[in-house]
Amino acid sequence: MAFLPIIVAPDPRLKLTCDPVIDVTDELRQLMDDMLDTMYDAPGIGLAAPQVGVTKRVIVVDVTKNDDERHPYQMVNPKITWRSEELLDYEEGCLSLPEQYAQVSRPEKIRIKYLDFDGNAQEIETSGILATCIQHEMDHLDGVLFVDHISKLRRDLIIRKLKKYKAQLSSKKVGVRG
């Protein structure tokens, strides 16, 4: 079990476009397991590889609330193949934007293709918070944060707060966690 440091915005590493994975190797599986451990520890419901400084198209998601009924997804090269026209508004947060939230509107249902932990091709259709979370994590793979979906005014306000938060972190006034 390993916990990886999570990059906090604003940071140029969160704005990069990630590379597709060619091979699902043991090294990549280790990364996916470490990402899941890091996400549960934070705690969060999703994490994308660029948030831990790896520019590969990998995400992990688990929207279950109960520790006894965990249902994690570890997705390599996720690709949306269908989106519903109906939208769902959801109050989103992000481990890279601690304590910041905003309502974001996204397709309510999606179909998604990806490679699983063993490198096998999968395709699932999903809706609700799981669909929202997958779309949020996939945005990270193209350098997009949830605040990029809201007004510039509100985005600038959140980024200002984060800059202040990071300044406090670096002067050790706030404990670091996740």
Catalytic residue annotation? 137
Nearer CB in complex with Ni ion: 126/171: 126
Starting at the earlier edge strand, list the strands of the sheet with 46-48: 46-48, 58-61, 73-83, 109-115, 121-127
Amino acid at 108: E
Find the shortest distance in angstroms from Cβ 11 to Ni ion. Answer: 12
Contact between 45 and Ni ion per CB under 5 A? no
Nearer CB in complex with Ni ion: 24/94: 94
Find the shortest distance in angstroms from Cβ 141 to Ni ion. Answer: 11
Which of 70, 113, 94, 66 has its CA nearest to residue 9? 94
- Count of H-run helices and E-run strands, the chain: 3, 7
Find the shortest distance in angstroms from Cβ 105 to Ni ion. Answer: 16
Site for Ni ion in 60-99 (CB under 5 A): 94
Two tokens at 80?
């949306």
Nearer CB in complex with Ni ion: 28/94: 94
Site for Ni ion in 93-152 (CB under 5 A): 94
Q: How many residues bind Ni ion (CB under 5 A)?
A: 1
Q: What angle do CA 15, 117, 138 make, to 5 degrees?
A: 25
Binding interface with Ni ion (CB under 5 A): 94
